Amino acid sequence: MYELNCHGVIPGCERVIRADSQAEVMRRAVMQAKQLGVETITQRLMDAIRDGMHESARH
């Protein structure tokens, strides 16, 4: 399982996004950013999401 604590990565986000794959965490993070009003998903934001993501023990 992979997770991203999006606080400090996506403006206004206080969630921890979890999914079985890195691609799904990325997809959910992009959706969350858009819901929070981020109009343009920049390469810098994508890199920050990727850098903030880590593998976690499955609960």
**What range defines the domain where residue 20 resides?**
2-55
* pLDDT per residue as tens, the chain (59 positions): 999 999 999 999 999 999 999 999 999 999 999 999 999 999 999 999 999 999 997 65
pLDDT at 29: 97
pLDDT at 57: 79
CB 41 within 8 A of CB 33: yes
| Whether this model's pTM surpasses 0.85 | yes
Domain count, the chain: 1
Alpha helices by DSSP H, listed for the chain, are 22-35, 43-52
Q: How far apart are CA 28 and CA 14, in angstroms?
A: 14
